[in-house]
Amino acid sequence: MNKKIVATSKKQDLAKLGKANNLKDLCPSDSRLDQVIQLLKKDRFWDAALLIGEFYNSLDNKTYSEAIKLSKELIDDIRATMGVRAKNRKDATTVVFGTSGWRGKIGEDFTVYNVHKVTRGIIDMMRTDEFLKTNGYLSFEDVQSHGIVVFRDNRFMGDEFMDVAMKELANAGIKIYFAGECPTGVGSALVTELGAAGSINFTPSHNPMDYAGLKFNPADGGPADTNLTNIIEQKSKQYMSLGDHFIASNPNIKEINGGRNYVEVNDAKIFSAYIEKQFASGKGLLDIVSIRKFLSEKKDDLYILVDNMHGSSRGKLQEILGNDLVADLVKNGAMEFINTEDDYSFHGVKPEPNEKNQKVIIDRAKAKVEAEPKRRMTLVVSLDPDADRIRFGTANSDINMNTFGAIAYGYLLKKGILGPIATTLPSSKFAVAIANIYNQKVYETLVGFKWFRPLIDALVKYEESDGISFMGHTQEKDGIAGFLMALQIMKDQNKDIYSFFKDLQAEFGYYYAKQAPQEVKSITIDEWRVLRKDIEKDLQLKYQDAKTFWINGVEKKVVSTRVDDGIMMVFDDNSWILVRSSGTEAKFRVYYEITSRTELTEAQVSQTQEQYANAGLAILNQALSVKGR
């Protein structure tokens, strides 16, 4: 960076320290602010921002309004500094496409310069025979004419990163379909509906405020498989090695080929037409026409609360369901949207559809029903920033994807629509149990929606990390499709989805799945790639032939093991434990599930799940300690 920028940066750093000290004066007993000050001094700005977010979310709004205001200002200052770095830094990075694209921290490894390089790596990949043959193209000229859809979620610098990608695409003569702020699942539908060669989507999904991300999907709209992402990584590495000798493309995007290579598209309009077309043709399962009718006719019985998490789903549901209809529902009190405004810090929390965030909207729905008892059918949903993940609930329940996947599948089977279930190894086996009763095929894949691509006959495709899609829908996970399915179930069952879930439990049994994460701190990307493989290999070697396993002093008989995604042990009572590493962040996860023929009390579930979590974490931590972690 030039001297003027560096000098300005130093002044801004001192100003940030001053605000942090002022915060400490307002809340002198909070030790987190001491940590914030030290992090700022060490130039660990994003870590400081995350800690500030945690700090101000623990405060009472009325008592500490000044501290909260100052906290938000300080986060804004940090973001501005990292934005300057993102625009000016030329440091290379290691590009890794995990289960859902390349992710990095804004201004550290995810920079304008590096996005230029990775986009060019994607373009080079699209020139290869591997891409051309697997996507049905004869030449790169076909790719240029079919074009690429470009869109983003609501993240900081999303427009700048899109602009960079479009400059590289334009310079390569590739037609651009510009969708702007657009949900991931909607963007996937755009690819197939427009006949595009693929898409570039800027999103790190549910990661916190410091992250940005880039996903590439090929012509079928689904996540790119390793046959393509490995090439992208290789090509990007070559460009990273050029250092300052890499020359970024900088054409006028809208003037190339007389402006015919740049087309702006209405994403929600195309998506709505796509869903209607798929159902009318008998390929799709979502009857949006009857959903709209149900909402209109039953509005006095309904309360639907949507947390958009400041993301790209905001405004889209209104357009998809019909602006006039939704306006009428909102006016009636039957529908409500929250967190629709711009907020790059996501009010200081990780924008993830998790249990903690869900409690806020469940409590809100509960208060609504207490005030208006006539609203007997409730639905609350939270959608992450790119709306590929969704979590459900009602006024009296929290429903994660392990549960909803089974609800959706059970609903379709009971409706007489038969077909396989596709799910991932760490997901609950409840839907699998239902499939077995109905003698339906079961697909259990590795983690990552890309593994569902060939399973076009599956009625429901879901993973426990809140992603879902359906037969006849996109190859990408789509929270909006999940939302529409929940409404359809309410319409056909004339009850909320939790009530229907209780019916399924009474018929098929009780399954209680959960996970325990274990973060690995102070580790580089390259170190993590090595460590995750080593730990999984060590655990596999130690437990793949295990006959028994101890949980809280009780010896469990191991009836089967799997080593294709971490290490999984299944016990003779159908309970299980799985330990695996994350493909998108430096974190291990212990997954586990207990089952019962009869309903367990909340205390029984909590106690037993804790025992399984402790047993899994024990073997993980033992393996980590051997590696000095």
Summarised one tens digit per residue, pLDDT across range 60-96 is: 888 899 999 999 999 999 999 999 999 999 999 999 9
pLDDT band for 4, please (50, 70, 90 cuts). Answer: low
- pLDDT for residue 397: 97
Mean pLDDT for 173-181 is 97
Average pLDDT, the chain: 95
Mean pLDDT for 288-305 is 98
Rounded Cα distance, 99 and 94, in Å? 16
Q: How far is CA 213 from the centre of its chain?
A: 11
User: Given a cut of 90, is residue 169 above it in pLDDT?
Assistant: yes
pLDDT band for 3, please (50, 70, 90 cuts). Answer: low
Asked if 97-265 and 282-508 have one fold, the answer is yes
pLDDT band for 9, please (50, 70, 90 cuts). Answer: low
In a 3-state reduction of DSSP, which class is residue 199? strand
pLDDT band for 568, please (50, 70, 90 cuts). Answer: very high
Mean pLDDT for 542-548 is 97
Question: CATH for 97-265?
Answer: 3.40.120.10
Mean pLDDT for 426-451 is 96
- pLDDT for residue 629: 86
Rounded Cα distance, 597 and 433, in Å? 12
- pLDDT for residue 5: 56
282-508 under CATH 2.30.30.180, yes or no: no
- Tens of pLDDT along 599-623? 999 999 999 999 999 999 999 999 9
- Tens of pLDDT along 387-396? 999 999 999 9
Exposure class string for 482-496: b at 16+ Cβ within 10 A, else e: bbbbbbbbbbebeeb
- Tens of pLDDT along 444-480? 999 989 899 999 999 999 999 999 999 999 999 999 9
Mean pLDDT for 28-47 is 95
Rounded Cα distance, 202 and 213, in Å? 5
User: Given a cut of 60, is residue 325 above it in pLDDT?
Assistant: yes
User: Given a cut of 60, is residue 425 above it in pLDDT?
Assistant: yes
Mean pLDDT for 363-384 is 97
User: Given a cut of 80, is residue 98 above it in pLDDT?
Assistant: no
Both tokens of residue 33?
């602010």
User: Given a cut of 60, is residue 261 above it in pLDDT?
Assistant: yes
- pLDDT for residue 410: 98
- Tens of pLDDT along 124-156? 999 999 999 999 999 999 999 999 999 999 999
- pLDDT for residue 486: 98
What beta strand segments (E) does 240-295 contain?
Answer: 262-264
User: Given a cut of 90, is residue 2 above it in pLDDT?
Assistant: no
Rounded Cα distance, 442 and 454, in Å? 14
- pLDDT for residue 22: 94
Rounded Cα distance, 171 and 163, in Å? 12
Rounded Cα distance, 312 and 205, in Å? 11
- pLDDT for residue 6: 54
Distances (CA, A) of 158 to 100, 202, 214, 463: 17, 7, 10, 27
Rounded Cα distance, 131 and 29, in Å? 58
User: Given a cut of 80, is residue 241 above it in pLDDT?
Assistant: yes
* C-beta separation of 299 from 459 below 8 A: no
Sorted by where each begins, the domain ranges of the chain are 3-88, 97-265, 282-508, 511-626
Place of tokens 């990095």: 104
Rounded Cα distance, 392 and 522, in Å? 34
* C-beta separation of 534 from 626 below 8 A: no
292, with CB counted inside 10 A (0-12, 13-18, 19+), is: middle
- For the CA atoms of the chain, what is the radius of gyration? 25
- pLDDT for residue 324: 98
- pLDDT for residue 508: 97
pTM assigned to the model = 0.94
pLDDT band for 1, please (50, 70, 90 cuts). Answer: low
Mean pLDDT for 309-315 is 97
Could you tell me which CATH class the domain 511-626 is placed in?
Answer: alpha beta
pLDDT band for 492, please (50, 70, 90 cuts). Answer: very high
Mean pLDDT for 376-382 is 97
Mean pLDDT for 42-60 is 94
- pLDDT for residue 334: 98
* C-beta separation of 174 from 182 below 8 A: no
